[in-house]
Amino acid sequence: MSIKVLFVCLGNICRSPTAEGVFRHQVEAAGLSERIHIDSAGTGDWHIGKAPDPRTIDEAAKRNYDLTPLRARQVSATDFAEFDYVIAMDKENLKNLKAMQPADYQGHLGLFLAFAPEEQQEEVPDPYYGGPEGFTLVLNMVEEASQGLLNHIQEKHLS
């Protein structure tokens, strides 16, 4: 049986696809692709079916992550039946997810940066309306938190 991880942001075209791509890369490097299943989704519906934002794709490509195959989808209450970890990028995402979480959900619903103890911030900031530095910041935060999440899952479920 595999551990299933869902990353969630607002549009599913910037932060959560970055998390999906970076975390998948780290999981593959650790030889755990068969044990950890990864997906991402957005709380909003504006970008359903679209590839990640070109700025997100370009930033990730600088560090050799290929996000081009990803397509946006909207999160739904049924995702809680499938995913052991539902990871929100910011507090607004978390609030919306808590509102749709079934009362009997046994998995982990929380903020991504809780897995990055060195990080001063609690949230991965939405880069959509900002400049290029926002996309670099997202990628830095995501790389750090992904490693923390992978360590956590390995210790808790796979050791």
Question: Does 128 help bind ligand 4NP (rule: CB under 6 A)?
Answer: yes
- Cα separation, 23 vs 87, in Å, equals 12
Which amino acid, 78? T
Q: Residue 10, interface with ligand 4NP (CB under 6 A)?
A: yes
**Which residue of the set 14, 15, 24, 39 is catalytic?**
15
73 is catalytic: no
- Give the per-residue contact string, 97-126, with ligand 4NP (x = CB under 6 A; - = no): -----------------------------x
Where do runs of H (alpha helix) occur along the chain? 15-29, 54-62, 79-82, 91-100, 132-157
| Stretch touching ligand 4NP by CB under 6 A, among 10-18, 32-40, 60-68, 104-112 | 10-18
Gap between the Cα atoms of 23 and 80, Å rounded: 20
Contact between 87 and ligand 4NP (CB under 6 A)? no
Measure Cα distances from 155 to 4, 17, 80, 91, 151 in Å. Answer: 15, 25, 22, 26, 6
Where on the chain is the footprint of ligand 4NP (CB under 6 A)? 9-15, 42, 46, 126, 128
